[in-house]
Each structure stands twice: as structure tokens, then as C-alpha cells.
Amino acid sequence: MKNKEILIILFSVLAFGSCSSPKPTAESKVSPFARKPIKEVTEARLKTDGLLIDALALQESGRFDEALSAFAAITASDPTEAVAWYEQGQLLARKGWVDSARRCCERAVAANGANTWYLLALARMQGASGLNSDMAATWERIVAQNPDVLDYYYQLSNAYLAANNLESAVEVLNRVERRVGVTEAVSLQKQRLWDAAGKHDRATREVEALADAMPQEKRYQSLLAQMYMQEKKYAKAKRFYDRILAADPQDEYIHVQLAEYYKAVGKPTEADSEMVRAFANPRLAPRTKLQLLSSFYNEDEFYNTHRDVCFRLLEQTVKESDDPREYAVLYGDVLMRQERYDEAALQLRSALQRDSSQYALWEALLICLASTPGQDEAMVDYARRASRLFPMHTLPLYLQGLYAVRNEHYADALPPLERANKWGFSRGYLEAETVGLMAEAYYRTGQYDRAWAAFERYIKLRPDDWNMLNNYAYYLSEQKERLDEALAMSRRTIDAEPDNANSLDTYAWILHLLGRDGEALPYMRKAVALDPDSETLRNHLKTIEQQ
């Protein structure tokens, strides 16, 4: 009972306690608006009521400790005073003294068990004390006194759950259904309870009852199908999916659900076909379709085993979108994997317009541009921009060096390459490629010692790169340095590739420089035979033959 209501009752008692009304005679007709007779009140009652008013006033004014003492004094003088026990319990609970508060509520209920407020307070204190079985018993009393308050049934069900009494918790919900009929809230709650208890058959029966009660609601059919899927009862699940499809062929999710069914029963081709049908439904928004793609197919399926259908569905979805840039990153990645680099570059450029803070987008775009003929100028422009934003990343620096070497701007190639070398190479990424370009640029700019050191480093990283080993040997021969070492390196290249005209030419030319023209001649003739259009090879052959 609330404080204000208690005050009103007590004031009414004081105001009218000394009055009495004559009893109506048998002949008199009592008006429905007539005041009911007031019972006479004793002096002790009046005194107690006065003390209650004072204690309640202290409580209302926030003087809780004084109010608590006042209520304790009342219960000490009259142990049957329910109001004082109840209010004393509320004040003790406010202090966090749960056990003491519970005992006060028990005394209030003992004095007046018909008062729902007292019972509610007792149930709360029992729950706070962990006395869940006692709490359930108290809620039973509350429900018995208030059979039309449905919320009390739900509280009672929860109390039985807290007491680990699942059967009783469900039975309480059955009582609700007997009063109001089958409802979604109650049936689904019972289904969740049975599922939590591992009794999936009983959980399924609850949903079946709900579906029978409301056959027009296809979501219950869908829920049943999903439950059977979880239980691996695929044939039963299929029946409910077929019902949904028959009732509403345009349902936006039914083909997705059928795809999941076919995937579960090991029919991937049929699953793909159902996904295609689902994506043909205009009710599915592009964003939803992409979410379905990423959830239905794992990474290996998306990029490998089911890539054809996945890429086709993605491409279709992007075209349907009002803003294709929203999906540019994923679409660009897919196009890259199909080696459609020019198309991928367009998507990635679009993505960078939306967000230029992600280095991964820059790197993907640079790879696409580097892999597309005729895009060197765009590649180096984006590489320079990326280097300004991400100065410690290797690829943009390497591509600037590569562009300069390709265009024989060797001095321009060295600053970005040396910067990449200074920052280091994560797990060796582009290390050999960068060092190889540095070797070429150093040699072409006349920095021979640095060139030899770079070549040596490269050969350690890529010992089987015969073309690079051949270049190293040839450059040594051009400078007439370490010819014996150069000859040994060249010999390795022709042993590995005996029909490589350039390697044969290098080997023959080093022999010539060493004065061993007789040995050189067969190799030189073979080189010219393999590449008769090379003027350099013909000139070398002529020089050797004249010795």
C-alpha cells in the first residue's frame, strides 16, 4: 500500500471514528450513495494511528532513520501492526539490509495476508535473498488474489525458473493460455524455455500449436522450418518451406531459406539456383543481398568453389544499387581476382573518393594500374600521392622506381628505391624487386661498387634468377672486372638455360675477353643461330671470328 493511501485511510479513521450511523430498517431502501457505517475505534487504535501518521510524515520528509525508529517502536508495542512492519521493511531494504527487510515483510504478511502490496514486497525480498522457492510460493498467493492480472503470471513463471522448476514455469504459462487463448508471446516464451532445457521436441510442439492457431502467419511456418533445420530433420523442414512458397511465391526470403536447405542436404547446385531466384526478387534491397552473399557463402566458396555464381550475383547487385560506390571495395576486389584490372581500378578509384584513409585501397589500385597496359602515368601519379599519405609503405616507392627505370631515368629511380630500402621490407615483400632495380640504377649511373653490392644481395635473395645473374656477369665484363667470377656466373646461366641466346652471348664474350676465342666461338655461333636478327650478337661473332 502506498504511503499517501495509508495517510488518507488513517485521517479518515480519525475524522469519523467516533461517529456511528443507524442501521437501516428492513423497510428502508438504502441509497447506493449512502455512507457505509464506520466501525468504532478504540483509544489504543487511535494512539497507534497517530504514531503511524507521525512516522509516515517523517518518512515523507526524508528523515528515514527517525522514521525507521518510529516504525520499530510501533511494532514493538503492537506486533500485529502490518503497516508499520511493511514500512519498516521498505526502509531497511533502502539501507541494503535485505534479510532484516524480508523478516519485516514476513511479519506484515502474517498480520495481513490479503494485502497484495505486502506480498509483492515479500516476493522482492525473497528474490533478493536467493530464496527462489519461497518467492515462487509468494507469487502463487499473489496470483490467487489477483487472477486477472496477467503480468503476475509472468512474474510467477520467472520465479519458478529462478527456482529451477521448469515444469512449473511452463505450467503457469499454460494457465495464461487457458484464460486468454494461444498467443505469440506466451507460446514463444514456452518454446524458448523448452529449448533452453534441451527439450526441443516440446519446444517444437509449442510453435506447432501457435502455427495451428494462426495459420495465416507464415512466419510461424518459417520458424518451425528453421527449428527442424537445427534438429537436422530436413524433410520436415522442407514441407514447411514448400507451404510458404505455395502461399506466397513472392516471399523475399523463401528462396534463401530453400538455398540453406539444399546446402544442408548436400545439393550445392540446387542451393546456387535458389540464391539466383532470391536475388531476382525486387523486394530484396541491394544491401540485404550483399549481406546474404557474405553470410551464405564462406570465403573459399565465394572466391573459389562458387565464384562464378557469387561474382555474377554481386555484379547484378551492384548494378541495381542507387549508389554503386557503396560496394566499390568488394566489387573491386572481385574484379581483381578475375584479372579484370581496368574495371577494378575504376571501382577502387571510386572507393578512394569516399575514403582515402585506407592504405589497402591505395595498394589494390596501384596493383591494378601496374597490371593494366598503358596506365604507367596514372600508376606513378597515384604512387606519389600514396607515398605522401603513407611514407613507410614499400609498394608506392617501388613503383616510382620501376617507372623511372622503365623510362631510363635512372637517377630519378634511386631516391624512392633507397627510401624503401631504408624503411625495410615486411616479410621480404618486394625486397628482391627493389634491390634489383637499385642494382640496375646504380650501374647505369656509374656507381659500380654500389651496383655490385646490390647484385650480390639480389643473387642471395633470388639465386635462380638466371636473367639477373646474366646481367651481373655481363656488366662485370663491360667493366672488365672480376672476369673469372663473371665467367663462373655465366656458366651457371647456360647450364640452366642452354638455349638462351643472351646467356650464350655473355659466356662467349667473357671467354673472348679472357683470350679464349677458340672456346668462345661455338657458343657465339649458337647464340646467333638462336637469334639471327640481333645486331649485337652478329657483331660479337664477327669480332671473335677475326681473332
- Give me the DSSP letters along 398-443: HHHHHHHHHTT-HHHHHHHHHHHHHH--GGGTTHHHHHHHHHHHHH
Q: What is the pLDDT of residues 221-278, one digit of tens each?
A: 888 888 889 889 899 889 889 988 888 888 889 999 999 999 999 999 999 999 999 9
Q: Where in the chain is the domain with CATH 1.25.40.10?
A: 1-18+39-129, 488-547
Distance CA 331, CA 325 (A): 9
Percent of the chain with pLDDT over 70: 91
Identity at 464, one-letter amino acid code: D
Q: Which of 479, 393, 475 lies closest to 434 in space, CA to CA? A: 393
Give just the sign of the alpha carbon dihedral 76, 77, 78, 83: negative
pLDDT value at residue 230:
86
- Compute the half-sphere exposure of residue 57: CA atoms within 13 Å on the CB side of its CA: 8
Q: Which of 63, 62, 112 lies closest to 84 in space, CA to CA? A: 112
Tell which CATH classification among 1.10.287.130, 3.40.190.10, 1.25.40.10, 3.40.800.20 matches the domain 1-18+39-129: 1.25.40.10
Its CATH architecture, for the domain 488-547, is Alpha Horseshoe (1.25)
Distance CA 439, CA 451 (A): 4
pLDDT value at residue 409:
96
Q: What is the pLDDT of residues 267-309, one digit of tens each?
A: 999 999 999 999 999 888 888 988 888 888 888 888 888 988 9
Three-state secondary-structure class, residue 225: helix
With residues binned 3-state (H G I as helix, E B as strand, rest as coil), the percentages for the chain, rounded to 5, are 75, 0, 25
| Residue listed under C-alpha cell 616479410 | 427
- What is the crossing angle of helices 218-230 and 254-264, to 10°? 20
Contact 305, 343 (CB under 8 A): no
Q: Which of 364, 362, 400, 352 lies closest to 380 in space, CA to CA? A: 400
Contact 162, 133 (CB under 8 A): no
- Give me the DSSP letters along 264-325: HTT-HHHHHHHHHHHHT-TTS-HHHHHHHHHHHS-HHIIIIITHHHHHHHHHHHHHH-S-GG
Confidence class for position 141, pLDDT limits 50, 70, 90: very high
Q: Is a pLDDT exceeding 90 seen at residue 396?
A: yes
Q: What is the pLDDT of residues 4-22, one digit of tens each?
A: 343 333 333 333 333 333 3
Alpha carbon 183 to chain centroid, angstroms: 33
**This model's pTM is above 0.75:** no
Q: What is the pLDDT of residues 425-435, one digit of tens each?
A: 888 888 999 99
Query: What's the whole-number mean pLDDT along residues 344-362?
Result: 88
Q: What is the pLDDT of residues 480-536, one digit of tens each?
A: 999 999 999 999 999 999 999 999 999 999 999 999 989 999 999 999 999 999 999
pLDDT value at residue 324:
65
